[in-house]
Structure formats: structure tokens, C-alpha cells
């Protein structure tokens, strides 16, 4: 008895050790990948003609009594570190990045980190709400479709899921704007706050913001529901076809118990990994949706920065997205190992 | 891996074959794996719907463009009646001044003069100089300095050259005005003798040279010459209080602006303009867009662009993905490690932002739209191969451990042949499914970029840039026919690819029992 306990705890300990080693290894690889990705992005952005700096130099040089264009250009390039060769420039960018010095945004004329702080909140809120809606609709429907495979319900749900995947975000968002904002007048087409926002009470301001978020959140949720629904359905089908479900049925368990007790719990394994993996993505904002609805989130801000050629903000945003992607992959892989005891980590 | 599967026919046919003995081979119909896949595919209703959608979109875009009589960027015109401001007519009741050469009569002096004239004074002073004014006639004054030099003439009747262009000299104008004010029928100026009638028409040797009138007719646009006849016609009509009249076959309309004391005369002209946003009609079944182009035609050509870009991008992705994934999966070891890290890197690069940045740079560089389209395809393909490579590698990793691969090795088949003839074909089913689904998403990506104005550019049509007209909110609310059909086409095509891809996935799945 005692020995058995000991063996179990030993196994658990080595398991934890292996997991820790695995995580550390993955983290190191992720950091390496991040270096590569940021370098590629940096090199790419540096290779592009720096229209923003040129424009600014042009503007400054036309001021009365100003230095000639070439001098301004040289001074601006030097002050933004654009005069260094790419590798040296990347090195200094990296150093600044680790020091937490992300530079000043050209487009927004404030430090990048300040602009980031002011826009990330609303993106996260939008992401969370739409994600919750997505989960609440996609998972149950996916399971229903799987349990009634090849029925009419399954066809309808599958077709709806594929339609959701096929919807171009921009077209769907515009349709929503036309129907609910223009024709019915329930919501505003653009912006996060209404015209009379400043006059509203605190509760009224929250409601006003909520009202403006309805259409963007709806767009985000509906466009992304499909893939999660199909994922749930596929995995549930796989589980339903496995031997232990046959055994459960053979035991004479009722169908409800088979599906919600035996099958669903096993479907949760891939679901949890994919959900965990998409958690970092909640911060990444929605570029198209935010831009279309003029919601001042990270997506809209980055779109403006990118179109204006704002290198510091763009670099920061792209690095941020790359980190989120890597983090998402890492979380889903680790979760997969943690949740499913059958998975052996190599 | 693949071998012929014998499949018993279903019940109804079996009853017809009762003459064969139970273990007779003819009772069993042999279907190749391909035929099985086809059979399973065609049993899937959604897949059939998807196939019909894709085919209809392909026919619409590729055949439609041939059938429809209009060109991709053919613009249509329409004649509309526009009222344009033609001339402004003022009845002059303030003094105007002419100054002989070498003299000056500043605006301060002008106001001093007006003051003196209103008060009935004969002289006024300014800057220690005294000026005398002499009334040469009604509303005609000459102003002289103390030593008798003529510095200016003030008048209200205006001397206009008969052809409306040439301006007379000082002496000519002064003499003409004096004669007109005095009611004389002739005057001499600069050695020529002019005749003058009561209406103020000045003739030299029987030829009209100028006229005197209080009506000032000012052309509103360059190139308009106001003839004497037209001016007289206008004066007569406006005096009579008429506001709409016809002169030499053209309709005019006069509007009085009380604040400016000006009659503005509008001319009705027929103008040749782009037939913008015309509603659906027989000539244009889906109306015209903001450039006066036929929307249906644009949709067809846009479909070609969207589909072709989709196919080329997916081909590129698959090409790179299969080669790198195949090498990586087959060789394993450090090659695999290297390629997979590369895949990780490409997986991690945020592609949409990168394409947006590149697009806006191309905007600023004003890259030729055709070359731009090529770049777009290359970029999309180059950024999108990672998923395919990962899929191929994963499949090959599991396949290469199987017995048939050992057999190929034992047979001494070359490596490239082993990879591309024996491994890759087994990945093809999966690949086809991914490509079909990938086509849908590529078309969406391209449309999104074109919608943002960063993808396919005018004059080329794409479903995305047709919809981008909607950025003008007036178009969004009023001209549904410009953008909704494009969105529907886009959705049908993408949905078709997704349905077919889904159907193929099910059909290729050997575990599927239907």
C-alpha cells in the first residue's frame, strides 16, 4: 500500500518535471521564433520607402526660415534610428523593446505604450463578449449536430456554420449597418459613443457604449462561430464513434448519460485546448470590424498607424500580435498535455 | 494504402440478381476508391449545392464576360439638362472711375469725391492738395487738381466695347460719356469722329464700336462673350420684370439676389456626363456605379479576377507547402527541424497587417494596377504556405513508417520518386480538401484587401473593390444595387468552395460509411 503510494507520487513528480521541461523548451523555441519574426518584420518595414519621414521632412522644410529638405530628412532619420543599417537598427530596437521603451507613435503623437493602453481595453471587452457568445452558441449546437448526424438538424447547423465561415466580415458588417443602423435606426453606424455621451449619467454612459458595441460584437461572434461549431461537431463525432461509447451503450446506459456524461467530457479535451489557445487572441483586437465601425480599439488604431506608415506603433503592434500567437500555441499545446493524460510528451 | 474495395450492391438490385449463385463474383460490383469517393461526394446534398454554386459563379464570370456587350471599364454617359450660371447683370448706381495715363486716383480720393458729390461741394481736400470737381453732365464728373490737371473722371453710365472684349482708351471713354450726357449725336476722340445715338450706341463709319449703358453684364465663365444684342435683350426683359425668356433658341432664367443687387442669369444647357448610379434598367440590369460603369459587367469581370487570384494564390501556397513539407517530413532530423521552425515563423507572421502595410506602400508608390495584382498574389501565396507544409509533413511522417514505403526502399526507387510518386499522392486527398477550403478564405482575404482599397485597384474590377463603393454612406443607403449583388456573389463563391471542401473531406474519409 505504502509502496504503491510512493510510486504514484514519484510518477506524478516526474510527470510534472517532464511537463516543466517541455514548457521551458517550448518557451525557448517561442522566443527564438519571436526573434526571427520581429527581425523579418523590422527588415521588411525598413526596406519599404519611409514615406512618413519624407512627408514630415517636406513639411518642415517648407516652413519659413527652415533648413533644406535633405538636412531635415537626415535629422529625422537619425532621431528615429533609421539611419543605421538594418541589423544594427534591429539591435537597438530590440534593446529598447526589452527596456520597455517602445518609442513614440508618429500617427498618434504620444508614446506607443500610452496609445496602446488607451485602446486595448475596448478591444479586450469586445473580444471577451463575442467569445462568450461564440462559446454559448457554438458548443451546444456542435454537439447537437454530432449526436443527430445526417439528420435535418445536422444539415441546417452544418450549413449555417459554413455560411458563417464564408461570410466576408466587411460585407456582413455593412449589411448589419444598413439594416439595423440605417433602416431601423436602432444603433449608430459608427463610433463607440453617441453624440450626447457627455451629458449622460454614469450608468447612461455605460449603456450608450454597450449600445454601440452591439453590432461590432454581433459581427465578430457570427463570423467566428462557424469554425468552433464545426470543430466541436468533428470532435464529438470522433468520440461518439469510439469504442468506449459503444461499451457505454452496451452497458444499457440511457442515451442522455452516454452523450452528456461519457462523450461530452471527452470532447472537452480538444475543446479546452482550442479555447485556451484562443485566449491570448482576445487581446489582438479585430482589425476589420473595428475599422468598419470606427471603434477605437487596437485594431482600428493599428490600421490607422499602418496606413500612415507609423513605424514605431506598427512594430509594436506586429510584435504584440506575434507574441499573442505564440502564446496561444503554447497554451493549447501545454493544455493538451495537461488535460489529456494519454498524451506523452516527447 | 489504396486498394480496390468490393462493395455489395444494395437490397433492391440484389433481388434482380437472384440467378447468380451466392458466391458468384458477378453479384459483386467492384468500385475503385476514386469511384467510391465520387459516389460518397454526390450523396452529400450540401456538396452538390456547393458544386452548383461554384459552377454557376464560374460560368457567370468567365462566360458572362464574353456574352455581355460591355467592356470591363466601359463608361456610360448620359445627357442631362443643367442650369449653369451664364452672366450676372447689375444695374450700376455707384460711381466708377477712369484715370488718364500717368495719374492716380486712390480709393481714399474716390470716397472723398463721393462725399463732396453727395454734399454738393465743388471741391475737396486730401493730403494738403485741393481737388475741384466739375459736373460735365448727369452723373458725370471730372476731377482736377488745383493747377487744372485732369486726374479722374467719375461716371455711372458705362462704356462697353461692342464686341465685349476690347476696352477703350481714356480719352475715347471720356469724350463718349460727355457727348452722351449732353445728348449730342457725335463726338471726336483721338482724331476720329464717332456717331452716337440716343440709346448710347457708338458707331465709327457705320460700324458698331461701343455702347453706353448702365447695365453691367458680366460673364460668369471664361469664354463667354456678351453681344450687344443679348445685353439689350436682357435689359429689356429684366426691365419688364420677366424672369424666364428664350434667346436664340436657348432657355434662360433670371434670379435676383437682393443682397448683391445682382441678377444672375442661368443658361439651360445639355451636358454630357457619366451615367452615375443609374437605377437598374433593361440597358443596365444592375444599374451603374460611381464611375458610370455597368455593375453587372463589373461583377462578371470582378468574378474572374477574384477566382483567378484565388486559384493562383492557392496554387502557389500548395506548391511551396508540398515541397517544403514533403522534404521536411521525409528526411526528418535537422532538415525537418529547420523547415518546421521556418513554418513556425511564417505561421507567426501576422499576414493581414503585413499585406495592409505593403498595400499602402504600393498606394504611395502608385504601382501600376496590373503589376500590383501580381504582387498581391505573390505576397498572399508566400505568406500562406505554412499551413500546407505542416499538413503535408504530418501526413508524410505517419505514411513513411508504413510497409509500402519500406517496399519502395527495398525496390531501390530514388528518393525524389519516393517522395513525389508514392508519398505525396497519398497526401493528395487531404490536400484537395485544404485547397478547396483555402480557395474560399483566399477569396475573402483578397476581397477584404480590395475593399480597403489596398488590393485589386481600379480600373480592374474585383468583388471586393465593387463593394468598397459602400464607404460612401450615401451609396450604402440609396444604391443597394451597386454593392449588395457583389457581396452576394462573393458569398456564393466562398460558400460553394466551403461546401465542396466539406463534402470532399467526408468523401475522402475512408471511415465514412455512407
DSSP B164: S
Are B292 and B438 found together in one domain?
yes
| A48·B357 Cβ contact <8 A | yes
Tell me which residue range forms the domain holding B40: 33-76+284-508
Are B485 and B474 found together in one domain?
yes
Residues from chain A that touch B477, judged by Cβ atoms under 8 A, are 178, 182
Identify the pLDDT of residue B56: 92
Are B454 and B478 found together in one domain?
yes
Residues from chain A that touch B46, judged by Cβ atoms under 8 A, are 155, 158-159, 162
Helix axes B386-399, B333-348, angle to 10 degrees: 150
Identify the pLDDT of residue B397: 85
Residues from chain A that touch B495, judged by Cβ atoms under 8 A, are 162-163, 166
Residues from chain A that touch B353, judged by Cβ atoms under 8 A, are 287, 302, 306, 314, 317-318, 321
Cell digits of residue B37: 469517393
Are B328 and B317 found together in one domain?
yes
| A166·B440 Cβ contact <8 A | yes
Contact B420, B481 (CB under 8 A): no
Residue B95 lies in a domain: no
Residue B253 lies in a domain: yes
Are B69 and B86 found together in one domain?
no
Identify the pLDDT of residue B19: 67
Residue A192 vs residue A216, higher pLDDT: A216
Identify the pLDDT of residue A5: 56
Tally of CB atoms within 10 A around A126: 26
Residue of B52, B341, B343, B353 to mutate, interface with A, max A Cβ within 10 Å: B353
pLDDT band, very low/low/confident/very high, at A202 (cuts 50, 70, 90): confident
| A288·B448 Cβ contact <8 A | yes
First vs last C-alpha separation in chain A: 31
Are B366 and B238 found together in one domain?
no
The kind and range of the H/E element at B358 are helix B351-365
For residue B259, what are the CA distances in angstroms to A59, B251, B262, B263, B302?
A: 41, 25, 8, 11, 53
CA distance to partner chain A, nearest, from residue B393 (Å)? 18
Last residue of a domain, one of B241, B274, B307: B274
CA distance to partner chain B, nearest, from residue A328 (Å)? 11
Would you tell me which residues 91-130 of chain A have a C-beta closer than 8 angstroms to some C-beta of chain B? none
Identify the pLDDT of residue B513: 53
Are B311 and B293 found together in one domain?
yes
Are B238 and B318 found together in one domain?
no
Residue of B45, B339, B342, B357 to mutate, interface with A, max A Cβ within 10 Å: B357
| B357·A314 Cβ contact <8 A | yes
Are B336 and B260 found together in one domain?
no
| A241·B352 Cβ contact <8 A | no
CATH assignment of the domain containing B497: 1.10.3720.10
Note the helical H segments in chain A: 2-47, 51-62, 69-79, 86-98, 112-147, 152-166, 169-176, 202-240, 243-250, 255-257, 264-278, 287-293, 298-308, 311-339
Report the alpha-carbon distance of residue A269 to residue A263 in Å, rounded.
11
| B349·A170 Cβ contact <8 A | no
Identify the pLDDT of residue B9: 46
Which residues are registered as beta bridge partners of A225? Answer: none
Q: CA angle, B27 as apex, B26 and B31 as ends, to 5°? A: 80
Of B188, B189, B114, B186, which Cα lies nearest the Cα of B156?
B114
Q: In percent, how much of chain A has pLDDT > 70?
A: 93
Identify the pLDDT of residue A130: 92
Q: Which residue has the cell 456587350?
A: B69
Residue B136 lies in a domain: no
Out of A99-108, A167-176, B83-92, which region has the weakest mean confidence (pLDDT)? Answer: B83-92
Facing residue for B357 by CB, picked from A45, A189, A241: A45
Last residue of a domain, one of B274, B299, B315: B274
Q: Would the pLDDT of A326 be above 80?
A: yes
Helix (H, G, I), strand (E, B) or coil at B68: coil
Cell digits of residue B36: 467510391
Report the alpha-carbon distance of residue B157 to residue B370 in Å, rounded.
64
Q: What is the ipTM of this complex?
A: 0.84
Q: For B99-104, which contacts have Cβ atoms below 8 Å and span 24 or more sequence positions?
A: B99/B151, B99/B152, B99/B153, B99/B170, B100/B150, B100/B151, B100/B152, B100/B170, B100/B171, B101/B170, B103/B149, B103/B150, B103/B151, B103/B152, B104/B151
Stretch A217-234: mean pLDDT, rounded?
90
Would you tell me which residues 285-324 of chain A have a C-beta closer than 8 angstroms to some C-beta of chain B? 287-288, 291, 302-303, 306-307, 309, 314, 317-318, 321-322
Residue B236 lies in a domain: yes
CA distance to partner chain A, nearest, from residue B495 (Å)? 5
Chain B touched by A185 (CB under 8 Å): no
Residues from chain B that touch A178, judged by Cβ atoms under 8 A, are 476-477, 480
| B353·A314 Cβ contact <8 A | yes
Residues from chain A that touch B45, judged by Cβ atoms under 8 A, are 155
DSSP states along A229-296: HHHHHHHHHHHHTSHHHHHHHHTT--HHHIIIIIIHHHHHHHHHHHHHHHSGGGGS--HHHHHHHT--
Contacts of B278 (CB under 8 A, 6+ apart): B76, B78, B284, B287, B288
Identify the pLDDT of residue B7: 46
Stretch A157-168: mean pLDDT, rounded?
88
CA distance to partner chain A, nearest, from residue B362 (Å)? 10
Q: Would the pLDDT of A313 be above 70?
A: yes
CA distance to partner chain B, nearest, from residue A331 (Å)? 15
Stretch A39-66: mean pLDDT, rounded?
79
Residue B314 lies in a domain: yes
| B45·A155 Cβ contact <8 A | yes
Phi, psi of B226 (to 5 degrees): -95, 115
Chain B touched by A163 (CB under 8 Å): yes
| A287·B495 Cβ contact <8 A | no
Facing residue for B341 by CB, picked from A33, A306, A322: A33
Residues from chain B that touch A170, judged by Cβ atoms under 8 A, are 447-448, 451-452, 464, 467
Q: Would the pLDDT of A177 be above 60?
A: yes
DSSP A311: H
Domains for chain A: give ranges and CATH numbers: 108-346 (1.10.3720.10)
Residues from chain A that touch B345, judged by Cβ atoms under 8 A, are 33, 36-37, 40
Residues from chain B that touch A241, judged by Cβ atoms under 8 A, are 511
Contact B482, B295 (CB under 8 A): yes
Q: CA angle, A8 as apex, A7 and A9 as ends, to 5°? A: 95
| B348·A37 Cβ contact <8 A | yes
Residue of A163, A165, A168, A237 to mutate, interface with B, max B Cβ within 10 Å: A168
Residue of A41, A45, A171, A226 to mutate, interface with B, max B Cβ within 10 Å: A171
Are B229 and B330 found together in one domain?
no
Cell digits of residue A227: 469554425
Residue A293 vs residue A51, higher pLDDT: A293
Residue B139 lies in a domain: no
Facing residue for B487 by CB, picked from A49, A150, A171: A171
Residue B441 lies in a domain: yes
Contact A158, A230 (CB under 8 A): yes
Residues from chain A that touch B473, judged by Cβ atoms under 8 A, are 189
For residue B383, what are the CA distances in angstroms to A254, A330, B379?
A: 50, 21, 6
Residue A278 vs residue B280, higher pLDDT: A278
Identify the pLDDT of residue B511: 65
Out of A48-62, A280-294, A296-310, which region has the weakest mean confidence (pLDDT)? Answer: A48-62
Of B48, B12, B7, B55, which Cα lies nearest the Cα of B31?
B7
| B502·A162 Cβ contact <8 A | yes
Q: CA angle, B102 as apex, B96 and B104 as ends, to 5°? A: 40
Identify the pLDDT of residue B6: 46
Q: In percent, how much of chain A has pLDDT > 90?
A: 12
pLDDT along chain B (514 residues), means of 10: 45 54 72 82 86 91 82 74 76 79 80 82 80 80 81 80 65 80 79 77 77 75 72 76 75 76 75 74 75 82 89 93 88 89 88 86 82 90 90 86 87 85 84 89 90 83 85 79 88 91 83 56
Interface of B with A (CB under 8 A): 45-46, 341, 344-345, 347-350, 352-354, 356-358, 360-361, 364-365, 440, 444, 447-448, 451-452, 464, 467, 470, 473, 476-477, 480, 483-484, 487, 490-491, 494-495, 497-499, 502, 511, 514
pTM of the entire structure?
0.74
Residues from chain A that touch B511, judged by Cβ atoms under 8 A, are 241
Last residue of a domain, one of B240, B274, B308: B274
Residue B19 lies in a domain: no
Are B372 and B292 found together in one domain?
yes
DSSP B421: I
Domain count, chain B: 2
Of B159, B153, B122, which Cα lies nearest the Cα of B140?
B153
| B451, closest residue in chain A (CA to CA) | A170
Are B295 and B386 found together in one domain?
yes
Amino acid at each position: 500500500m505504502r509502496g504503491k503510494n510512493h510510486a504514484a507520487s514519484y510518477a506524478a513528480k516526474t510527470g510534472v518535471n517532464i511537463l516543466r521541461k517541455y514548457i521551458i523548451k517550448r518557451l525557448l523555441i517561442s522566443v527564438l521564433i519571436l526573434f526571427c519574426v520581429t527581425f523579418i518584420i523590422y527588415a521588411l518595414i525598413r526596406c519599404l520607402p519611409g514615406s512618413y519621414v519624407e512627408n514630415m521632412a517636406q513639411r518642415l522644410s517648407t516652413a519659413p526660415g527652415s533648413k533644406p529638405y535633405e538636412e531635415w530628412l537626415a535629422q529625422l532619420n537619425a532621431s528615429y534610428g533609421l539611419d543605421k543599417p538594418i541589423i544594427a537598427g534591429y539591435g537597438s530596437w530590440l534593446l529598447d523593446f526589452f527596456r520597455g521603451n517602445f518609442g513614440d507613435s508618429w500617427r498618434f503623437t504620444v508614446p506607443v505604450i500610452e496609445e496602446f493602453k488607451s485602446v486595448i481595453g475596448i478591444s479586450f471587452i469586445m473580444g471577451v463578449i463575442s467569445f462568450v457568445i461564440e462559446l454559448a452558441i457554438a458548443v451546444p449546437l456542435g454537439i447537437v449536430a454530432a449526436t443527430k448526424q445526417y439528420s435535418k438538424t445536422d444539415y441546417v447547423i452544418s450549413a449555417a456554420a459554413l455560411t458563417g465561415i464564408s461570410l466576408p466580415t466587411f460585407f456582413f458588417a455593412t449589411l448589419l449597418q444598413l439594416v439595423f443602423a440605417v433602416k431601423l435606426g436602432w444603433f449608430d453606424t459608427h463610433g463607440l459613443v453617441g453624440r450626447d455621451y457627455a451629458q449622460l449619467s454614469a450608468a447612461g454612459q455605460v449603456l450608450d457604449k454597450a449600445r454601440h458595441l452591439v453590432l461590432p460584437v454581433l459581427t465578430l461572434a457570427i463570423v467566428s462561430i462557424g469554425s468552433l461549431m464545426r470543430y466541436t461537431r468533428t470532435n464529438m463525432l470522433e468520440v461518439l464513434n469510439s469504442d468506449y461509447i459503444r461499451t457505454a451503450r452496451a452497458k444499457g446506459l440511457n442515451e442522455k448519460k452516454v452523450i452528456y456524461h461519457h462523450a461530452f467530457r471527452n470532447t472537452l479535451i480538444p475543446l479546452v485546448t482550442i479555447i485556451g489557445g484562443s485566449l491570448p487572441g482576445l487581446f489582438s483586437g479585430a482589425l476589420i470590424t473595428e475599422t468598419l465601425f470606427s471603434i477605437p480599439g487596437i485594431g482600428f488604431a493599428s490600421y490607422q498607424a499602418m496606413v500612415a506608415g507609423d513605424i514605431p506603433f506598427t512594430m509594436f503592434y506586429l510584435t504584440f500580435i506575434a507574441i499573442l500567437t505564440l502564446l496561444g500555441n503554447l497554451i493549447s499545446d501545454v493544455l493538451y498535455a495537461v488535460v489529456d493524460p494519454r498524451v506523452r510528451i516527447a | 494504402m489504396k486498394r480496390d474495395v468490393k462493395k455489395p450492391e444494395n437490397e433492391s438490385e440484389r433481388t434482380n440478381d437472384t440467378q447468380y449463385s451466392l458466391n458468384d463474383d458477378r453479384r459483386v460490383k467492384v468500385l475503385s476508391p476514386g469511384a467510391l469517393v465520387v459516389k460518397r461526394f454526390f450523396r452529400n446534398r450540401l456538396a452538390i449545392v456547393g458544386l452548383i454554386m461554384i459552377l454557376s459563379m464560374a460560368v457567370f464570370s468567365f462566360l458572362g464576360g464574353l456574352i455581355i456587350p460591355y467592356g470591363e471599364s466601359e463608361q456610360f454617359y448620359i445627357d442631362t439638362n443643367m442650369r449653369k450660371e451664364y452672366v450676372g447683370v447689375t444695374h450700376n448706381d455707384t460711381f466708377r472711375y477712369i484715370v488718364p495715363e500717368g495719374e492716380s486716383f486712390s480709393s481714399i480720393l474716390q470716397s472723398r469725391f463721393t462725399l463732396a458729390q453727395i454734399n454738393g461741394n465743388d471741391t475737396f481736400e486730401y493730403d494738403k492738395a485741393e481737388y475741384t470737381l466739375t459736373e460735365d453732365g448727369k452723373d458725370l464728373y471730372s476731377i482736377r487738381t488745383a493747377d487744372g490737371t485732369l486726374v479722374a473722371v467719375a461716371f455711372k453710365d458705362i462704356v462697353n466695347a461692342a464686341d465685349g472684349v476690347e476696352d477703350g482708351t481714356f480719352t475715347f471713354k471720356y469724350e463718349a460719356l460727355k457727348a452722351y450726357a449732353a445728348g449730342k449725336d457725335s463726338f471726336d476722340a483721338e482724331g476720329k469722329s464717332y456717331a452716337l445715338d440716343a440709346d448710347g450706341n457708338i458707331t465709327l463709319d457705320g460700324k458698331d464700336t461701343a455702347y453706353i449703358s448702365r447695365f453691367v453684364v458680366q460673364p460668369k465663365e471664361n469664354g463667354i462673350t456678351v453681344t450687344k444684342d443679348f445685353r439689350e435683350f436682357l435689359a429689356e426683359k429684366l426691365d419688364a420684370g420677366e424672369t424666364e425668356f428664350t434667346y436664340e433658341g436657348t432657355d434662360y432664367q433670371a434670379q435676383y439676389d437682393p443682397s448683391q443687387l445682382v441678377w444672375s442669369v442661368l443658361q439651360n444647357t445639355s451636358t454630357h456626363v457619366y451615367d452615375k448610379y443609374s437605377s437598374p434598367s433593361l440597358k443596365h440590369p444592375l444599374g451603374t456605379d460611381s464611375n458610370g460603369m455597368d455593375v453587372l459587367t463589373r461583377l462578371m469581370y470582378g468574378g474572374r479576377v477574384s477566382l483567378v487570384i484565388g486559384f493562383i494564390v492557392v496554387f502557389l501556397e500548395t506548391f511551396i507547402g508540398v515541397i517544403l513539407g514533403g522534404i521536411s517530413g521525409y528526411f526528418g532530423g535537422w532538415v525537418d527541424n529547420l523547415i518546421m521552425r521556418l513554418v513556425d515563423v511564417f505561421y507567426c507572421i501576422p499576414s493581414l497587417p503585413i499585406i495592409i502595410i505593403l498595400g499602402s506602400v504600393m498606394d504611395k508608390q502608385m504601382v501600376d494596377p496590373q503589376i500590383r495584382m501580381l504582387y498581391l498574389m505573390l505576397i498572399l501565396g508566400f505568406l500562406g504556405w505554412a499551413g500546407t507544409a505542416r499538413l503535408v509533413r504530418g501526413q508524410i511522417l505517419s505514411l513513411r513508417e508504413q510497409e509500402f514505403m519500406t517496399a519502395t526502399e527495398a525496390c531501390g526507387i530514388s528518393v525524389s520518386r519516393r517522395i513525389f510518386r508514392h508519398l505525396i499522392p497519398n497526401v493528395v486527398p487531404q490536400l484537395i480538401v485544404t485547397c478547396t477550403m483555402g480557395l474560399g478564405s483566399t477569396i475573402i482575404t483578397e476581397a477584404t484587401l480590395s475593399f480597403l482599397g489596398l488590393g485589386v485597384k481600379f480600373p480592374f474590377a474585383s468583388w471586393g473593390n465593387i463593394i468598397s463603393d459602400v464607404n460612401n454612406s450615401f451609396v450604402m443607403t440609396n444604391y443597394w444595387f451597386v454593392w449588395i449583388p457583389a457581396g452576394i456573389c462573393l458569398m456564393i463563391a466562398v460558400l460553394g468552395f466551403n461546401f465542396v471542401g466539406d463534402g470532399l473531406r467526408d468523401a475522402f474519409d475512408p471511415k465514412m460509411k455512407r
